[in-house]
Structure 1
Amino acid sequence: MQIQVRRRNVRGFAFGLVVALLASGILAAAGGGVVQAVQAAGRGGGGSDEGLVAEWRFDEGAGSVLHDSSGNGNDGTIHGATWTEGKFGNALRFDGQDDFVDCGNPPNINFGSGDFTVYFMAKPADFHNYQRFMTKYASSPQGWIIYGDSHGKVWANVIGTKSTAKNIPMGTYEIDAWHSYALVKTSNQIKTYMDGHLIHTFNAYVGDTDASTNLLIGKCGSSCVASHTYLKGLIDEVQIYNRALTAEEIKQQYEGKQAELTLTKSVSPHTIKQGQTTTVTLTVENTGTTELRDIEVADEVPAAADLTFVSGESAKKYDSLKPEDTRVFQYILETKEAGRFNLG
């Protein structure tokens, strides 16, 4: 939208650009006066939270504690791993030598003979055999392991009291490329997924998988201490459920919910004379299906001698916008020079 000065010397100038910024960068930019809906990929977590017993989003960016955002208090202790930019927000970088996260052994991540799902995102930095992405197994007879080999393949072992499902394919990995992986265990099947797609179905009743050892990220259990079993690379977005997610839920988990932000800008009154004011109203609405966090919406106030900023706010920050949430902010401009201004 342009402001036009309707007088003998008519001239126009750009009347602002509304820009919405997420913590990770620009989400939307909209010219004034136009309703603008812009979509952006949301972070993982498109599935239901039903049965979610642990969730590590790796958003801290500092410190030695990896906080569990599920509300169950399953915080992990970081040993050596360093903070870096992740797939969504932050992640932890593991050096392949001695870095890992110890998430403890709380009762709610031991599932007996019941169903469970493990989901995570990884970005390995090299190919080496037996590097552990996640482990809930040591010298105890039960548990599960997710690891990569030196040929760029990912595998899972699920060990129970009745049988062992060993070397189950989970897909592949590449150097410095993000992929998501999911291990889904039911009473008589184990399914694996990569980037939302089913990789393998293994028919087996393994029985009780409870392990007396701690859940470790980036490291093998205490029974294996060789340095080559440590992960070299990045981990982000880990979720554990006490149920078997469906294929559709796994797909949603990978794709994430869709983020959509609608920006609307209006001016009233449209026509003003010298010394009069007009109010610019900006409306921000989350028209998507996922929460947006850490948003800054800023309007470019026209840089012209004819108009003066009087009061209000031309930019706002929001910690959170949930689906269907709407926020409105305003600022006032005044004309200083003679003439009639059409702001339509």
Structure 2
Amino acid sequence: MYLFDNDTKNAVVDSSANEYNAEIIGKPKWTEGKYGQAIQLDGATWVDVDQKNQAAFSLPLFTIAAWVGNMKVAGHQYVLHKSTAGADRNYIVNVQSGTGFFVGGFSPGGTWSPVVSTTNVADGKWHYLTQTYDKKSDKVLVYVDGVLEKERKMGGNPPANEGVFRIGRGPGGSFPFTGCIDEILIARTPFSADQIQKLMKDGLEKSALAVGSSTNQLTVIWGRIKSVR
């Protein structure tokens, strides 16, 4: 869980109990975010999780969420991903060339299966991008600003992936991101629409503590939140 509030010039701090801090490559800037600070990427700067922690980011089911803002799309841009190629994508958060639509999904059985929103999120405003995958329904659900926009039955599970978990560009350095990113959540469980809307309205730290403690699943669903201030 990356809040982008207490980072250094070389590292992004994981605010969960896992402490999967990530290395910054390039010259980032920090700016006012949706909640606290946000990282501002210039297309030549990105963030990688240490190789020793990569297995933890390959997920059989998930909720992936992030705020993005100040985007102007000229081509495909990766917000984040866990993949090495189209055939083995465990998950991605991509912004589509031309349309500015949010693209989620993964590659069941080695076939890339995108799930594409209907809102242009590259309009310079802040937008909350979320996708979930639930094995029971076998569906990826894609939300923009807390509203379900598209769903797809996947026909298989996300493939295990040994590639890097990366923020700000695609595999091999492709499709770099230019804009601001705030409050990334990577969770090993599918959240409900109500939980997603709470995340969006209250921010990660506040909503994680409230929802987790009320359901007695703080350590299971959300991870323990450390005091990072």
TM-score by length of 2: 0.79
**Relative to structure 1, is the Cα distance of residues 246 and 83 closer, same or farther in structure 2, using a 3 angstrom cutoff?**
same
SS at match of 2:31: strand
Q: Distance in 2 between matches of 1:57 and 1:205?
A: 33
Q: What are the superposed Cα offsets for residues 95-125 of structure 1, whole Å, 9 maximum, x if unpaired? A: 12x11111245222212xx311101100033
Q: Distance in 1 between matches of 2:145 and 2:9?
A: 30
Aligned partners of 2:3 and 2:183 also within 8 Å: yes
Q: Which has the higher helix share?
A: 2
What is the one-letter code of the residue matched to 1:235? I
What is the one-letter code of the residue matched to 2:149? I
68, 72, 91: which is aligned to 1:126? 72
Q: Distance in 2 between matches of 1:208 and 1:237?
A: 23
Stretches (4+) displaced over 6 A: none
- Report the Cα offset of residue 61 of structure 1: 5.1
Q: Distance in 1 between matches of 2:71 and 2:114?
A: 25
- Report the Cα offset of residue 250 of structure 1: 0.8
Q: Distance in 2 between matches of 1:153 and 1:140?
A: 18
Q: Distance in 1 between matches of 2:199 and 2:176?
A: 26
Matches within 5 A, 1:1-344: 55-60=1-6, 62-80=8-26, 81-96=28-43, 98-105=44-51, 106=53, 107-111=55-59, 114-139=60-85, 141-143=87-89, 144-148=91-95, 149-161=97-109, 163-169=111-117, 171-187=119-135, 188-222=138-172, 225-226=173-174, 229-256=175-202
What is the one-letter code of the residue matched to 2:57? I
Larger radius of gyration: 1
**Relative to structure 1, is the Cα distance of residues 110 and 169 closer, same or farther in structure 2, using a 3 angstrom cutoff?**
same
Q: Distance in 2 between matches of 1:170 and 1:217?
A: 23
Q: What are the superposed Cα offsets for residues 156-191 of structure 1, whole Å, 9 maximum, x if unpaired? A: 231133643225326321433111010101221100
Unaligned runs of 5+ in 2: 204-209, 212-226
**Relative to structure 1, is the Cα distance of residues 128 and 199 closer, same or farther in structure 2, using a 3 angstrom cutoff?**
same
**Relative to structure 1, is the Cα distance of residues 132 and 85 closer, same or farther in structure 2, using a 3 angstrom cutoff?**
same
**Relative to structure 1, is the Cα distance of residues 120 and 234 closer, same or farther in structure 2, using a 3 angstrom cutoff?**
same
Q: Distance in 2 between matches of 1:140 and 1:126?
A: 24
What is the one-letter code of the residue matched to 1:128? A
Q: Which moved more, 1:86-95 or 1:131-140?
A: 131-140
Residue identity over aligned pairs, in percent, reads 21
Unaligned runs of 5+ in 1: 1-54, 258-288, 291-319, 321-344
SS at match of 1:216: strand
**Relative to structure 1, is the Cα distance of residues 171 and 209 closer, same or farther in structure 2, using a 3 angstrom cutoff?**
farther
TM-score by length of 1: 0.54
Aligned partners of 1:61 and 1:91 also within 8 Å: no
Q: Which moved more, 1:168-177 or 1:148-157?
A: 168-177
Corresponding residue pairs, total: 199
Aligned partners of 1:102 and 1:217 also within 8 Å: yes
SS at match of 1:141: helix
**Relative to structure 1, is the Cα distance of residues 204 and 140 closer, same or farther in structure 2, using a 3 angstrom cutoff?**
closer
What is the one-letter code of the residue matched to 1:151? T
**Relative to structure 1, is the Cα distance of residues 66 and 161 closer, same or farther in structure 2, using a 3 angstrom cutoff?**
same
SS at match of 1:161: helix
2:215 corresponds to: none
Q: Which has the higher strand share?
A: 1
What is the one-letter code of the residue matched to 1:84? T
Aligned partners of 1:61 and 1:90 also within 8 Å: no
- Report the Cα offset of residue 210 of structure 1: 1.7
2:218 corresponds to: none
